[in-house]
Structure 1
Amino acid sequence: MPESSLPGGFVNAVVRVGDTVRRPVSARTKFVGDLLRLFEAGGWSGAPRYLGVDEKGREVLSYLDGHVAWEPRQPAAVSSDESLVAVARLVREFHDLTAGTPLAGDHDVVRHNDLSPKNTVYRLVSGSLRPAAFIDWDLAAPGARIHDIAHVCWQYLGLGPAVADVGDAARRMRLIADSYALSDRQRLVSTVLWWQDRCRRGIETGADAGDVAMVRLRDVGAAREVQRAYQWVSDHRRALERALH
């Protein structure tokens, strides 16, 4: 069957073949396959199905139809309060499915580790786009619930210099935490800062080591952009934390 490149991929080459997605295997393929099979067994529709490996040695996943928000400009419904609530509830669902399983090990849950609009499939619900599933589970690993929620706050709210209203961003952080029913929210802002620092260091270290994908990210200014976001969150930390109490 003919193959067509899927948009939005910056690190891996991902193609669509019929109703499937093909992508390179990695050291994470077995874990991700086990995780996606766990979701399927639990009847959770918020992730692709794992279908094995094809004749070219690529992992095969089911194709999820919908709108993936990978472009900078998006319909207003993608960033609406209603969509934020739905994202937080989807995260809670897959966290709860993985809690106490062998895949989570000694940790709370299995976390996605790269939740963002670019990795979210939106579908029409009562005439408006709403998040329905998450894709790109390559970085999934055992961890704490708060790490995914902090990443959601950073990425879905665009926490950084482009934020026009700090008060509204703080309110929406509270909305995400409430919708997930996050208990240890006093560490949420510090965990956002941890993610941003980790991301910047990862890009710079990987690029210095010659990782082609990290070199590309550094060359387009990704590390500088993350550093500016980190500084913005640091500058407004008190206002963000105050809204979470």
Structure 2
Amino acid sequence: MSEIRLPGGFVSDVVRVDETVRRTPARNAPFIHELLDLFAQQGWQGAPRYLGIDAAGRETLSYLDGHVAWQPVQPPDVVSDESLAMVAQLVREFHDLTAGSSLAGDEQVVCHNDLSPKNTVYRDLGHGLRPVAFLDWDLAAPGQHIHDVAHMCWQYLDLGPSIHDPAAAVRGLRLLCDAYGLVDRGDLVKTIMWWQDRCWRGIEAAATTGDPACVALRSAGVVDEVRAAWSWVADNQHVLDDGIK
């Protein structure tokens, strides 16, 4: 069967083979496979199915058809209020499925830890493109609700210098938090900044040691972009905090 390289990723080489996806297993592959099996057992359609390891030692997943929003410019439907609300609802669904499970351990839930449009599959459900599933669960781990909600807010709202009016960011934050059902929002903005700081420092440190994926990310300007995003949130922290109370 022919292999078609799937676009959009810096970190791993992913190919499509018929109706499956083949990729190098993550370092915590057993945990991820167990998580995907849990979703399958519960009938949750928001993640690919784990199908085993192929003859080349690659992880085999079900292929999810749809629009993956990895390019910088996206159709308006992707950033519509309806799509943003559905993203938050999908996050709440898998958080609820993992809460109290052995995979979550002593933490509240299992977090995806890399929620963003580029890891989201959108389909036209009759009223335009809407999010239906999340890809790339490699960083999934036990954590707190706020971790995924903060990462979601940063990435899907593109919090940073591209937002000229902080009031627009406040509106987006409230929309996502309301759709998710996040009641305690006191640490949300602080956690967004924690993610941004952690992200650029992690890429920079790994690139310095020669990690190919992080070298590519740094060369593409991602470190500078994330640092600028952190500065924007820091400059507007009080406005954002006050607006989402």
> Which TM bucket (shorter chain)?
over 0.9
Structure 1's unaligned 5+ residue stretches are none
What is the match of residue 217 of structure 1? 217
2:160 alignment partner, SS class:
coil
What is the match of residue 35 of structure 1? 35
What is the match of residue 137 of structure 2? 137
**Cα separation, 2, equivalents of 1:166 and 1:32:** 37
Cα deviation code 1:127-163 (max 9, x no counterpart): 3100000000011000011110100110000000011
What is the match of residue 159 of structure 2? 159
Q: How do 1:118-133 and structure 2 match up within 5 A? A: 118-133=118-133
**Cα separation, 2, equivalents of 1:223 and 1:27:** 24
Q: Residue 5 of structure 1 aligns to which amino acid in structure 2?
A: R
Alignment RMSD:
0.8
1:175 alignment partner, SS class:
helix
What is the match of residue 49 of structure 2? 49
Structure 2's unaligned 5+ residue stretches are none
What is the match of residue 241 of structure 1? 241
CA shift, 1:184, in A, is 2.1
1:45 alignment partner, SS class:
coil
Q: How do 1:137-216 and structure 2 match up within 5 A? A: 137-216=137-216
- TM-score between the two structures when normalised by the length of structure 1: 0.98
CA shift, 1:238, in A, is 1.1
**Cα separation, 2, equivalents of 1:81 and 1:127:** 13
Cα deviation code 1:20-56 (max 9, x no counterpart): 0000013211111000000000110000000000000
CA shift, 1:204, in A, is 0.9
Structure 1 ranges of 4+ moved more than 4 A: none
- TM-score between the two structures when normalised by the length of structure 2: 0.98
Q: How do 1:224-235 and structure 2 match up within 5 A? A: 224-235=224-235
**Cα separation, 1, equivalents of 2:204 and 2:169:** 28
**Cα separation, 2, equivalents of 1:102 and 1:243:** 37
1:122 alignment partner, SS class:
strand
**Cα separation, 2, equivalents of 1:102 and 1:30:** 14
CA shift, 1:243, in A, is 1.4
Q: Residue 115 of structure 1 aligns to which amino acid in structure 2?
A: L
**Cα separation, 1, equivalents of 2:92 and 2:175:** 14
Q: Residue 237 of structure 2 aligns to which amino acid in structure 1?
A: R
**Cα separation, 1, equivalents of 2:41 and 2:67:** 25
CA shift, 1:179, in A, is 0.7
Cα deviation code 1:181-204 (max 9, x no counterpart): 112211000000000000011011
CA shift, 1:105, in A, is 0.5
2:96 alignment partner, SS class:
helix
